[in-house]
Each structure stands twice: as structure tokens, then as C-alpha cells.
Amino acid sequence: MGKAQREISISEFFAKNRHLLGFDNKQKALLTTIKEAVDNSLDACEEAGILPDLVVEIHQLEQDDRFRVVVQDNGPGIVRAQIPNIFGKLLYGSKFHSRRQSRGQQGIGISAAGLYGQMTTGKGPHIISKTIRGKAHHFAIQMDSTKNKPLITKDDELAEWHLKQGTRFEIEIEASYKRGLRSVDDYIKQTAVSNPHASVTYLAPGMEEARLYERASDVVPERGEEIKPHPYGVELGELMKMLRNTNSRWLSGFLQEEFCRVGPKVAKTIIAAAGLTERSYPSRIAREEADSLYRAIQAAKISAPPTTCLSPIGEERILDGLQKETDADFYAIATRPPSVYRGNPFQIEVGIAWAKPGNDLLDVDTSGRITKKKKKKNTADTENLLGNADEAVRVLRFANRVPLLSQQSSCGFTKAVINTAWKNYGLSQSRGAMPVGSAVILIHMASVWVPFTSEAKEAIAPYNEILKEVKLALQEAGRKLGQHIRKGKRVAQEFEKRSYIESYLPHVGIGLQEILGITDVQREDVVETLRDSMETKRKI
């Protein structure tokens, strides 16, 4: 049975399984292409400490299902020699091997978009890139999918370019452009929310002119530091590989140099527990000894990894974003302390926006007075994200500031929302279902490595450690929401009681007038006094 056995190139594999990369259908292909390019642009700007000015354009071509997509940034640019591999080779990049928070992490996305273009239109991507010191280069690239290698079809140096530095990615793809939920419009809007430091100029078919999402902050988010692996996250096989490849001469040095959070004392404890000696040669440690070392590491007490590597969005910006996009009556934000899964630090942030059922109900103004609530209008441009009170709440999911639009039902975040007891917090919920109410829940995970359920990076794998943290954050925000809703109910009940009594007050006045023979003015005085005394009593 040896015949016909052969190697499969990763590009052939993904071309055949392109739905794994987010190219399931024409509409999603458009979104994925733009998403991958924008992720890279934002990462590049952040790495270089540049405030991003992005241009995203979608141009419909003559044929109905063909589009030209442009994504341009003012980032640091890419050195000439790297351009073909970055855009024409799957599994190539700088982020996979670094433990640092970034949007891209696989080295697949942008070259997959190029491959998709090539498969559907026969045309590969065009890239223009300029570093601050270099000339601008214009590349056209095709991918040899049998070998997973770039074929350069154009390689020009441009005499001049309109940007002093930056990268422009342009490609023709088979696609379909639609508005609404999970559209590119939606993605751009959510990206602006989670990246308030970016300015995005967006042009899509049907728009008379480009739409500008202006930056709301002039501060580039601090770039998370790169960290070494944490001992708890390493597996036996990886440990063995590290022992073989280390430059450290002694076991004690190996532990301290290759891992974070291991000092001389911890190293000593681990080595003693494993029954080894500190001066063992790492490369000579046998499987059984490595196994003991592994178990000793798992049993040792080691502090959690440093969290300077994480760059959360921040409570204030989450609140800003929610306020900008929803017309809610109440907002609650919760931030968890950083935590760890498989040795990777991560941090969860949650925001809830909630509106009272029915916009014409009562409201409490800032001075505590009960008023009729004015119905707010949705502006044409910003569709209100809040659904009706009898609809499932909408969940906005973000990973390292990237909005996740697809695969909601298989996402760990969704699972955590479903597993939270929302009835305790004033929302209705059937067993095993999403809570119901006019609310939006925003969840963000910042991590040096986000475990996605597929290469398309659309949903978070439901690791227990992550589910737990999301749930705790939801509960914290949920408690605040519950308090607010209960208070609102009390106020509403109180108001009902008062209005009931108040409707009798004039009749009491008339009765008193008849009995006591007082004037109309006196009667009104009496009624007013009664009302005031009731008001005073209520406040107590």
C-alpha cells in the first residue's frame, strides 16, 4: 500500500479547506481579507509606536462578484527582502514564535488572502511598501501552492510615493458585499471601538464618499512586553526539546534562563524534588529524568507570569465605545486581574450596556427626580446595537482588540455567557440559552496567545481557565446591573404608589374645603402641603 503516498503542501491543504481560514463564502471572504490586512497594519503601527492612519477601500469591478480591496497604513513599512515571503507563503511571520500580545499570531492570514485571490480571480496581491529610510517597492506576487513558495511577478522600485512610510496591500477577489450584522461595515465600526487610537478612512460600494472614523485617543497603546514561557505551561515533550536546544550549561541555569518566574531558589527546589543535581548537563537529561523534572515543576510553587506583556483596552475606553454605539440607560464594566492558561497570561474585560424595556417608561434624572423618559432616536449612521427587550442580548467579542464576528455559537465567550445565571441580575433566561433583554455584552480577551477554534480566528476555544475568568467578569458586571435594575423597579413601584395617592389628593382637598369652608387658594395650599409632606416622608 505504499503507492500514491505523498507529501501535501500546507497551501494545497488550505486551498482545499479554505473555510478553515474564513473563506467559506463570498461574503465572508471579503471580510476575512480585510480583517487580515487591517490586523497586520494595526500590529505594525503599534510595534513602531505610530498612531495608525488606515485606508480601507472596497471597489466593485465589472463582474458582479469581483472586487478590488485596498488596505493601506502609515506603519513602518516592510524591508524589501521580506515582502514576498510575508505575502506569498503560508506559515511565515514574526509573531508565532514570540510571546507577545498581537493581533496576528499565525503567519497564515494575509498570505491566505493572497492565495484566495489567486484561486478565484487568477491574480495575486500587489504590495507597495516603504520604510522611512528606503525607497518604495512595488511587488506583485503569485503563490506556488504545490511548494508553498512566492513567485514574484513584478518587482519595481518607485521613484516616489505619497507616503513617507507605510504599506499598501491591494488584491482582486471573488466576493460579495453586504451591509448589516457581521458585515465589513460592522467590522470596521467595532475595530474603531476597540482601537480608539486608530483613524480609519473607509470606502465601500454605494457610499458617496469615504467615511472617516476619527481617532478618539492620541495615545498609542503601550506595546506588551515579550515574555519567556512560564514553567506551568510547558509540556513534557517541549521541555525535552528545550533541554536539548538550550545554551545553558547547567540545569539550574537552564531553568532560570529559559523560563520566567524561576529564580535560584525555585530552581533549587524543583531540581531537588526531581532528584537531579543543579550541575546536570541539560542535554544529557534522559526522558525519565525529564519526566521527573516536569512533575517537579508542576508541583512547585511558582508565581504567576508577569502581566506587563498584556495590553487591555481599559475600562474607560470600553465605556466610551459602548456609549458611542448604544443608546443604553446603564453601563457596567468589569476587569479581571490577569490569569494563566497553559502558561499563557491573559486578561478578561467585560462591559454591559442595558436599556429599560420600552423606551417610553420612567427614568430617574441626575437629581433623583422621576421623569418620563424621552425616546432617543437612532442616527442613520450609528445603528443602535441594543435589541428589543424580548430578544437575546447581543454579544460583542474581541480578542487582542480584534472584533470576532463569526462562529458565535461555538465560541467559549458565548458558552460563558450562557452558563452565567442572568436571572440573578434581572435578565430573563431559559436554561442553556442566551439571556434575553435590551442589552449588549462586550467581552475582550488580551493574551500573548489566543486559542482560536480555527485558523480563521473567529471564536475562542473553550479552555476551562478562560471560561472561568469570563464568567467571573460577567458576574461582577452582572451584579452591578442587577442592583441597578432592582433599584429601578423599586423606584417604579414607589412612583406607582405615589401617583395612586396623588390622584386622590385633589379629592381630599375638595372634601376638606367642604367641611372647613376654606377658600380655593387655601385648599390648593393644603393639597400642596400634603404633597410636600409625602415627598419628605418618601425621601426618608
What part of residues 374-403 is at the interface with a second copy (CB under 8 A)?
none
Q: How far apart are CA 210 and CA 204, in angstroms?
A: 8
* Stretch 184-223: interaction string toward a second copy, x if CB under 8 A: ----------------------------------------
On whether the CB atoms of residues 68 and 113 are closer than 8 A, the answer is no
Contact region with a second copy (CB under 8 A), list: 198-206, 285-293, 330-338, 346-354: 285-293
Give the CA dihedral 262, 268, 274, 277, nearest 10 degrees.
Answer: 120
Q: How far apart are CA 306 and CA 302, in angstroms?
A: 12
Helix (H) or strand (E) holding 509: helix 464-516
| 86 contacts a second copy (rule: CB under 8 A) | yes
Q: Please pick, from the candidates 89, 189, 401, 471, the single residue that binds a second copy as defined by CB under 8 A.
A: 89
Beta bridge partners of 141: 152
Name the grid cell of 30. Answer: 471579503
Beta bridge partners of 58: 69
Owner of C-alpha cell 496591500? 169
Closest approach of a second copy to the CB of residue 498, in Å: 40
Q: How far apart are CA 476 and CA 348, in angstroms?
A: 12
Closest approach of a second copy to the CB of residue 334, in Å: 27
Helix (H) or strand (E) holding 255: helix 251-258
| 333 contacts a second copy (rule: CB under 8 A) | no
Closest approach of a second copy to the CB of residue 135, in Å: 15
Contact region with a second copy (CB under 8 A), list: 74-82, 364-372, 375-383, 499-507: 74-82
Closest approach of a second copy to the CB of residue 462, in Å: 8
Strands 199-203 and 211-213, by their bridges, are antiparallel
For a second copy, give the closer residue by CB, 50 or 518. 50
Task: Burial-class residue 299 by CB neighbours within 10 Å (0-12, 13-18, 19+).
Answer: exposed
* Stretch 292-331: interaction string toward a second copy, x if CB under 8 A: ----------------------------------------
Q: Report which of 235, 226, 195 is spatially closest to residue 105, judged by C-alpha positions.
A: 226
Beta bridge partners of 441: 352, 395
Q: Is 362 helix (H, G, I), strand (E, B) or coil?
A: strand
| 96 contacts a second copy (rule: CB under 8 A) | yes
Closest approach of a second copy to the CB of residue 16, in Å: 7
| 455 contacts a second copy (rule: CB under 8 A) | yes
Residues that bind a second copy (CB under 8 A): 1-10, 12-13, 15-17, 19-20, 24, 44, 47-48, 76-79, 81-82, 85-86, 89, 91-94, 96-98, 106-107, 118-123, 131, 145, 235-238, 240-241, 287, 290-291, 407, 409-410, 449, 451-455, 461-463
